[in-house]
Amino acid sequence: MVRLRTGSVYHPPQATSGNRGPTATRRIGQTSRMSGPVQSRDVTEDPAHPEDPDGAPGPPPDLEVTPSRTAEVGSMTVRRALPRRTRRTVGAWCFADHMGPHRVAPGDGVDIGPHPHIGLHTVTWLVAGELLHRDSLGSEQTIRPGQLNLMTAGRGVSHAEESTSGYSGDLHGIQLWVAQPEATRHGDPAFEHHEELPRTEVDGGVGTVLVGAFGGATSTARTDTDLLGVDLQLHGRSSFGLRAEREHALVVLDGAVAPAGSSRAGAVDAPPEPVGTGHLVYLAPGHDELTLDPTGPTRLLLLGGEPFESQVLMWWNFVGRTREEVEAAREDWERGGERFGDPGSPLDRIPAPPVPWRPTT
């Protein structure tokens, strides 16, 4: 069991970095060159090459609190909880960008132009606001709070995320990626939109099941591996069971909770402050119960899954296994071939940067 208790709240300093995109044919607003892609500061270049700095991660600690890295995506600050050099994946979850709250208006939103993916699912979840998804499969779907967009890249897909023309207000949510296993990662791309998701009452609040099963409720969203994703809205202490074979993580969207201890491995050194936004709390396999004691009204994501089947190579918007397949995907995107198609967006197409393991001249 892990218990999370109350106390004073710690928030990290806001150091930002990022890039803005081309402006030649951009529609009004701000188009990001980067959709939150993986950079070398997030992970090592290639876990298969031990000469790379930091190497492959060692055995997971029982409980770990890591700060997110802040970056600029368009005009919005995001908090990147995954991947980090010390934590690439939680189950198959391999990417988590917490965005906002950020004020947007028509002509002044956050637009992310067409860009490619391989070997992953994108999972989009909003707490406030709305976005328009377009992809090379012909999908054109607005997403609002309480709804889920899930796109499967497989061997290759491209998409854009656009501000809607009529919305003014806060935009707040999280963009997640899930690594596909060997059995499906070369398969067909796909897209699904879930207008409603199952909800379940928990002690001290309510949970919305994005993927997997929790508290007697099961989402119909696609999963290619053992996976759990739950949005928890808590107003008081909450205890619930976990599957001990899974590793889990908490990403706080609003409010705070604090690591206090773990029965799995005895006492755990943890900061006395509650963990607010800008951190990821990791729980290694072995926990069968979790108790959360929020400092006040709190909203967070519970992510989980059995440890992923293999190490992955993550670079830019690609999740692969080798440098060669990542380079091939990059070349296919730059050539503009049929592999990634065209999502039909009015935004600028985002060019791929050079791969970091080849010297530039």
- pLDDT tens, position by position, 295-326: 999 999 999 999 999 999 999 999 999 999 99
Mean pLDDT of the 75-101 span: 91
Give 336's pLDDT tier (boundaries 50, 70, 90). Answer: very high
Q: Residue 211 belongs to what domain range?
A: 2-335
Determine what percent of the chain is predicted with pLDDT higher than 70: 78
Q: How far apart are CA 231 and CA 23, in angstroms?
A: 36
Domain presence at residue 94:
yes
Domain presence at residue 326:
yes
Mean residue pLDDT of the chain comes to: 83
CA nearest 71: which of 61, 59, 79?
79
CA nearest 231: which of 212, 258, 246?
212
Mean pLDDT of the 60-68 span: 82
Say which CATH number the domain at 276 has. 2.60.120.10
Residue 75 has pLDDT above 70, yes or no: no
Domain presence at residue 361:
no
Give 230's pLDDT tier (boundaries 50, 70, 90). Answer: very high
Domain presence at residue 90:
yes
Residue 112 has pLDDT above 70, yes or no: yes
pLDDT of residue 105: 87
Domain presence at residue 298:
yes
pLDDT of residue 202: 94
Q: How far apart are CA 96 and CA 41, in angstroms?
A: 15
Domain presence at residue 34:
yes
Domain presence at residue 352:
no
pLDDT of residue 26: 29
pLDDT of residue 42: 56
Q: How far apart are CA 35 and CA 193, in angstroms?
A: 20
pLDDT of residue 106: 82
Tokens representing 102 are 């950020």
Give 166's pLDDT tier (boundaries 50, 70, 90). Answer: confident
Residue 16 has pLDDT above 50, yes or no: no
Q: Which of 279 and 190 is assigned the larger pLDDT?
A: 190
Domain presence at residue 340:
no
pLDDT of residue 361: 59
Q: How far apart are CA 126 and CA 110, in angstroms?
A: 14
Count of domains forming the chain:
1
Sheet holding 199-202, edge to edge: 63-67, 279-283, 247-254, 298-305, 228-234, 205-211, 199-202
pLDDT of residue 61: 67
